Each structure stands twice: as C-alpha cells, then as structure tokens.
C-alpha cells in the first residue's frame, strides 16, 4: 500500500492534507495527518463547539485519550480536529504526547457497513480477522481511529473495521452483527479497496466474543427511587456508564447478582443497586411481576469472610461468604443481632456488627489527617488525595461537619472545602482548581462546585451567580466547595 512518491519532512501542512502518507507500511489518509500535533487528556476533558465553558459539549475524552490539535485558539483553549470540523478543548488539561495509538476524531455514533468487511482485533491488515460482517450491519463507532481503521463496539467488545466501509448514517435495513457470515476460503492479506462492492475475506473462524448485540428482553418495567450509578458490571468498583436520575423509567431484565439488578436505561444495559427500583404491577410483556425488597440504606462489610444467611440465625443455611468492603443494601429489618439485606433480589441476613456505614475496603486511602476528612464518603476521600497531589499549594481542606445551613452534603460526607491561601490575591489558584474539577467531573463523580459567589452544576454545564450570603467564607471567596454524588450507589 506504499505511495508512488515519498513525502519529505519539510512538506507544508497544505501539501500533507492533499495526499496520503505511508507510515510503517500502513497508508494514512489525509484526515489523520491534518493536525500539527497530538495531545493526551490528563483527565476527563470536554470537547466543545466553541472556546468557552458554556459552549455545547460535543464529546468527553477520558484520561489518556489522544486528540489531534491544529493550533492554539487562545491562552486557555486548543483547536482540535473533530468530526470533520474544528472544535476546542481546555489547554490546561491536555498534554502533548508522542503516542502512536488511536486518536479520537469524532463522537460515539451508530454506523452501518456499506460493504462486506473484516472485523479485526486490531487496526492492522495483519491482525486477526474474527468474522466478515455483511453489508448493512449496524455497529457503534467509538469515535477513535487509527490510520485507515475505525474502532467499533460489537457485543460489548472493542474491534476494528476499515473506515472506508462504514457509512456515516445508520440504515433501517441494517442487520445485527450477529448475522454476519464468515467466509471459509479467503486470504488474510486481502486489501480493502475503495469500491463499495469489494469483499475483504479471511480464513479466520469467528470467535465467541462476536455474539448478538441485541438488548436483553425486558421482564418488568420499573422506576428509580433515587439517583443511581449505572455500572458496567455488578460491582461498586465497576466502570460507571452514567447516572440514572431519580424517577427515571427503566426496563428490568429479571437478572439479579449480589446487591445489583440488571436494567436497560437509555439503550444501555448495566447494573444498579437492588432496592431502589419501584417495579410496575405489570411487566413490559403483560405478565404480572413481583415487587423487589425495598432498600432503606447502604452498608459495607467491615470484616473478611463474613457469612450471609437465609434467616437471622447462625444455624440457618449460608447464602454467601462476603469479602471486606462488599456493598450491601439493607431493608431496615433487624432480628437476633442480624440485619436484613438484599441479595440476588431477595432478603438475606448478615450479623449487624459486621456492617458499617463507610467503606473500609483495601481501596480506602486510610487516615487523611483529620476526623473531618476521614468521615468523608469514598468519592470525597479520593478527591482530597488528588487535590493534594495536583495542587501542593493547598494546605487546608475541610470535609464532614455535623450541620450545614444550605445542604446535607457536608453532614453526609459528600462535600469538601478547598481553602485558597491568600485568597484575595490568589484567585488564579481557585480558578484552576474549579476548572480541574469541571474537566474531571465524571471521573471524580462531581455533582456541583461553588467558587466566588457562583455555582456550577455539572448537569447544567455553566456558572450561575448566587445571592450574597454575607461574609467572604459564606460567599465562597476563600474556598472552592465541591459536592459529590453518593459514593455507595
């Protein structure tokens, strides 16, 4: 796939964009080479339509994601190539990189194959072919590309396809990736061509990972009774797929694992804590359903190898053996020194003295130096550790306190106050910390920020002025307040 002529290092940007260049034997299209340099996100980083924190968010980069930078829009903003046009990222949270890996070139999007195409394990013609997808197969492009390949998600697995065989639009006639038909006679070195009818082939046999992408069938309709974290797997440490708002409609699949129930929300399948779902009297398919136990709170197992039993009795059948740090939802029932908990969609029992309101797992950062910080929930504790590392100028951070006139976040261990030294002449430090919290809001589970008599709610995406509360401290002139979502959801 080499070009007829070799490009010299001194070629101008306009010349590069007019032709393709071969690197390590892989032909890279003009779009991949249009940028002047690569930058990696140092945390969660919003890609915006304009160089402003109030502009529309086009996508959010994760820590380590690489994007192509075309120039500097201002001191604070970088211009990037995104979805075929110019977008912007906050310069403070992007760092120049020499990474040769995939680049985020667009948003996550539903696409469809416009010809039969190889589904590969990597962005290379030499990588293993898992199967051949039929023309019209629907896939989800992650927004990351490498050379002539686009990363796609199929059956929960990340794979690669030749970009030229993906249409920008979905098709009503698109077929499930599960129906793709592998061929038995083709060679693994076949090169995709620009002709839409070209048929890349391979000798590889499809693997078990390339299964149906269909959403699980709904067994019951339900409504969330609290803000819930939608987890990729049934674990409090699993990747968050986003939040399910209180009062949101979800579909339950009828599958329960430990403290979690599988649901479908906004076309995403994930897991939420059992006990915070109000099940409808009739399921989606018209069958009557049984209500789940109702949770009244959350607890963590504070010892190793704790037995969970079917009844509040040490002689009853053992349901499971729990590890230290396991998250449980409680029903509020108590009997014989046991507490009722929800497990696999049913009520089971754990000895009460082995349950704590705060997480004491191995992931806990330990003593943070004060009672007010040690009584924070895990998200707050993690933020304290990160702020101390990122901003060594900060010497004082407040956390838990018994009461608050404006919200329950401090008394519940869901908020920290980052005190700014010499705040009257050090506004820039507070601005930088507030911007860092906004840029990394998803990863740090930030709910809102208050700084200099302004409030920034992450879901709203912009600052709003607040009423004068009196003193500099009450108006948050001397500290950045950060509130977090409930760590145990």
Write down the domain spans for the chain. Answer: 1-34, 35-104, 220-279, 297-356, 371-484
What pLDDT, on a 0 to 100 scale, did the predictor assign at position 282? 59
- DSSP letters spanning 425-447: G-HHHHHHHHHHHHHTHHHHTEE
Check pLDDT > 70 for residue 109: yes
pLDDT tens readout for residues 311-344: 998 888 999 988 888 889 999 999 998 999 999 9
Question: What is the CB neighbour count within 10 angstroms for residue 212?
Answer: 11
What pLDDT, on a 0 to 100 scale, did the predictor assign at position 20? 33
Q: Do the first three CATH levels of 35-104 and 220-279 match, i.e. the same topology?
A: yes
Which one is predicted more confidently, 304 or 399? 399
Residue with tokens 């290092």: 9
177 vs 147: CA distance, rounded Å: 23
What pLDDT, on a 0 to 100 scale, did the predictor assign at position 31? 36
Check pLDDT > 50 for residue 97: yes
Check pLDDT > 70 for residue 472: yes
Which one is predicted more confidently, 303 or 112? 112
Task: Please state the CATH superfamily assignment of the domain spanning residues 297-356 in this structure.
Answer: SH3 Domains (2.30.30.40)
pLDDT tens readout for residues 229-270: 888 888 877 777 888 888 888 888 888 889 999 998 888 889
User: Average pLDDT over the chain, rounded to whole?
Assistant: 78
Check pLDDT > 90 for residue 348: yes
Poorest-pLDDT segment among 98-107, 211-220, 384-393: 211-220
What pLDDT, on a 0 to 100 scale, did the predictor assign at position 351? 92
What pLDDT, on a 0 to 100 scale, did the predictor assign at position 217? 66
The architecture CATH gives domain 35-104? Roll (2.30)
Task: Please state the CATH superfamily assignment of the domain spanning residues 220-279 in this structure.
Answer: SH3 Domains (2.30.30.40)
Q: Collect all residues with Cβ–Cβ distance below 8 Å to 180 and sequence separation of at least 6.
A: 119, 131, 132, 133, 134, 137, 206, 210
Q: Report residue 361's pLDDT band, with 50, 70 and 90 as the boundaries.
A: low
Answer whether 254's CB lies under 8 Å from 219's CB.
yes
What pLDDT, on a 0 to 100 scale, did the predictor assign at position 186? 31
């Amino acid at each position: 796939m080499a070009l007829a002529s070799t490009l010299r290092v001194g070629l101008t940007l306009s010349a590069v964009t007019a032709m393709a260049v071969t690197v390590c034997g892989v032909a890279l299209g003009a779009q991949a080479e249009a940028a002047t340099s690569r930058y990696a996100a140092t945390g969660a980083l919003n890609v915006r339509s304009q160089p402003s924190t109030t502009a529309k968010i086009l996508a959010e980069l994760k820590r380590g994601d690489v994007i192509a930078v075309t120039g500097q829009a201002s001191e604070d903003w970088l211009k990037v190539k995104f979805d075929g046009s110019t977008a912007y990222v906050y310069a403070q949270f992007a760092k120049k990189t020499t990474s040769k890996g995939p680049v985020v070139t667009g948003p996550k999007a539903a696409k469809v194959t416009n010809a039969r195409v190889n589904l590969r394990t990597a962005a290379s013609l030499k990588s293993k072919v898992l199967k051949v997808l039929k023309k019209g197969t629907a896939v989800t492009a992650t927004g990351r590309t490498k050379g002539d390949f686009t990363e796609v998600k199929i059956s929960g697995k990340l794979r690669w396809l030749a970009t030229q065989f993906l249409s920008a639009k979905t098709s009503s006639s698109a077929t499930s990736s599960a129906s793709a038909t592998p061929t038995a006679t083709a060679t693994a070195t076949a090169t995709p061509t620009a002709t839409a009818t070209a048929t890349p082939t391979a000798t590889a046999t499809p693997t078990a990972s390339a299964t149906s992408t269909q959403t699980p069938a709904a067994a019951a309709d339900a409504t969330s009774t609290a803000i819930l974290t939608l987890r990729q797997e049934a674990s409090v440490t699993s990747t968050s797929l986003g939040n399910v708002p209180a009062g949101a409609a979800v579909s339950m699949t009828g599958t329960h694992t430990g403290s979690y129930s599988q649901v479908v929300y906004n076309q995403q399948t994930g897991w939420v804590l059992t006990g915070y779902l109000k099940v409808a009297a009739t399921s989606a398919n018209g069958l009557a359903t049984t209500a789940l136990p109702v949770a009244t709170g959350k607890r963590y197992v504070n010892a190793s190898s704790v037995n969970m039993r079917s009844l509040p009795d040490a002689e009853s059948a053992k349901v499971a053996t729990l590890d230290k740090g396991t998250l449980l939802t409680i029903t509020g029932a108590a009997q014989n020194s046991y507490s009722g908990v929800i497990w696999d969609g049913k009520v089971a029992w754990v000895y009460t003295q082995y349950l704590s309101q705060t997480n004491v797992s191995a992931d806990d950062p330990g003593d943070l130096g004060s009672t007010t910080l040690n009584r924070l929930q895990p998200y707050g504790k993690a933020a304290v550790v990160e702020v101390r590392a990122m901003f060594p100028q900060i010497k004082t951070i407040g956390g838990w306190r018994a009461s608050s006139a404006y919200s329950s976040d401090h008394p519940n261990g869901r908020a920290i106050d980052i005190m700014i030294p010499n705040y009257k002449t050090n506004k820039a430090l507070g601005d930088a910390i507030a911007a860092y919290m906004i840029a990394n809001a998803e990863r740090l589970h930030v709910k809102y920020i208050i700084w200099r008599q302004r409030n920034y709610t992450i879901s709203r995406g912009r600052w709003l002025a607040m009423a004068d509360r009196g003193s500099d401290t009450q108006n948050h002139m001397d500290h950045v307040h950060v509130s977090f979502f409930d760590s145990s959801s």
